Amino acid sequence: MGVMKRMSGILQAKTNKLLDKAEDPRESLDLSYQKQLESLQKVRRSVADVTTAKKRIELQATQLQGQADKLQTQAKAALTQGNEDLAREALARRAALADQLADLQTQHEQVSAQEQKLIDTAQKLQTQVDAFRTKKETMKASYTAAEAQTKIGEAVSGISESMSDAGMSMQRAQDKIDGMQARAGAMDELLASGALTDLTNPVDDIQAQLNKASTTSTVDAELAALKAEVGAGSPAPAELPQADAEESSS
Amino acid sequence: MIVRILGEGQYAIADAERSALDDLDAALLAAVESGDEPAFARALAALTAEVRRAGTPVADDAFAPSDLVVPFSDATLEETRDLLAEPGVEPAKDER
ipTM, two decimals: 0.91
User: What's the pLDDT at B40?
Assistant: 97
Q: Please report residues of A whose CB lies closer than 8 A to that of B13.
A: none
Please report which confidence band the pLDDT of residue A250 belongs to, taking 50, 70 and 90 as the band edges.
Answer: very low
Give me chain A's average pLDDT, please: 82
Q: List the one residue out of A201, A191, A250, A193 whose CA is nearest residue A223.
A: A250
Name the H helices within chain A: 3-16, 25-80, 84-141, 145-193, 195-200, 204-233, 239-249
Q: Cβ–Cβ of A168/B71 closer than 8 Å?
A: no
| Range from A105-114, A189-198, A211-220, A226-235 that averages highest in pLDDT | A105-114
**Looking at residue A128, what is its pLDDT?**
92
How near does any CA of chain A get to the CA of B88, in Å?
4
Asked if B94 lies within 8 A of A1 by C-beta distance, the reply is: yes
Contact between A161 and B65 using a beta-carbon 8 Å cutoff: yes
pLDDT at residue B93, rounded to an integer: 52
The dihedral of CA A18, A20, A26, A31: what is its sign?
negative
Contact A124 B25 (CB under 8 A): no
**Of all residues in chain A, what percent carry a pLDDT higher than 70?**
86
pLDDT-based confidence at A249, cuts 50/70/90?
A: very low
Helix (H, G, I), strand (E, B) or coil at A82: coil
8 Å CB contact of B69 and A4: yes
Closest Cα in chain A, distance from residue B56 (Å): 16
pLDDT digits (tens, 9 = 90+) for A156-200: 999 999 999 999 988 888 888 887 777 777 777 777 765 555 444
Confidence of residue A1 (pLDDT cuts 50, 70, 90): confident
Selecting from B63, B68, B91 the residue whose C-beta is nearest the C-beta of A154 gives B63
**Residue numbers in B near A165 (CB within 8 A):** 4, 6-7
Whether A6 sits inside 8 A of B21 (CB atoms) is no
Query: Which of A87-101, A173-187, B46-60 has the weakest average pLDDT?
Result: A173-187
Distance CA A50, CA A180 (A): 11
Q: Which residues in chain A have their CB less than 8 angstroms from residue B30's CB?
A: none
Q: Is the pLDDT of residue B77 over 90?
A: yes
Model confidence, pTM: 0.74
- The answer on pLDDT for A246 being more than 70 is no
Top pLDDT among B44 and A195 is at: B44
- Determine which of A85-89, A101-105, B91-95 has the lowest per-residue pLDDT on average: B91-95
Distance from CA of B65 to the nearest CA of A (A): 4
For residue A233, name the pLDDT band (cuts at 50, 70, 90). Answer: low
For A18-70, what is each residue's pLDDT tens digit?
A: 887 777 888 889 999 999 999 999 999 999 989 998 999 999 999 889 888 98
Are the C-beta atoms of residues A81 and A121 closer than 8 Å to each other?
A: no
| pLDDT attached to residue A196 | 53
CB crowding B62-88: b at 16 or more within 10 Å, else e: ebebbbbbbbbbebebeebeebbeeeb
Q: What is the pLDDT of residue A211?
A: 78
- Please state the rounded mean pLDDT for residues A105-115: 91
Task: Mark out chain A residues that contact chain B at CB-CB < 8 A.
Answer: 1-13, 15-16, 117, 121, 124, 127-128, 131-132, 134-135, 154-159, 161-162, 165, 168-169, 172
Query: Does the structure show a pLDDT above 80 at A214?
Result: no
Question: What burial letters (b/e) apply to A89-122, b meaning 16+ CB within 10 Å?
Answer: bbbebbeebeebbeebeebbebbeebbebbeebb
Q: Is B7 helix (H, G, I), strand (E, B) or coil?
A: coil
Give the bridge partners for B69, in sequence order. B4
Q: How far is A73 from chain B (nearest CA, A)?
A: 43
- pLDDT at A141 > cutoff 70: yes
Amino acid at A121: T
Residue A203 has a CB neighbour count (10 Å cut-off) of 12
Position B95 pLDDT exceeds 60: no
Q: How far apart are CA A185 and CA A47, in angstroms?
A: 19
Chains A and B: how many Cβ contacts under 8 Å? 111
Distance set, CA B87 to CA A8, A187, B5, B42, B56 (Å) = 11, 38, 19, 26, 30
- Nearest CA-CA partner of A104 in A171, A55, A146, A173: A55
Contact B55, B13 (CB under 8 A): yes
Q: Kindly state the average pLDDT of the residues A208-213.
A: 78
Chain B nearest C-alpha distance from A56 (Å):
25
The amino acid present at B85, given as its one-letter code, is: A
Distance to chain B for A11, nearest Cα, Å: 7
- The span from the CA of A11 to the CA of B59, in Å, is 20
For residue A97, the SS3 value is helix
- Residue of B22, B61, B87 with shortest CB distance to A13: B87
Strand, helix or coil for residue B10 = strand
Half-sphere exposure of A81 (CA within 13 A, CB side): 23
Contacts of A159 in chain B (CB under 8 A): 63
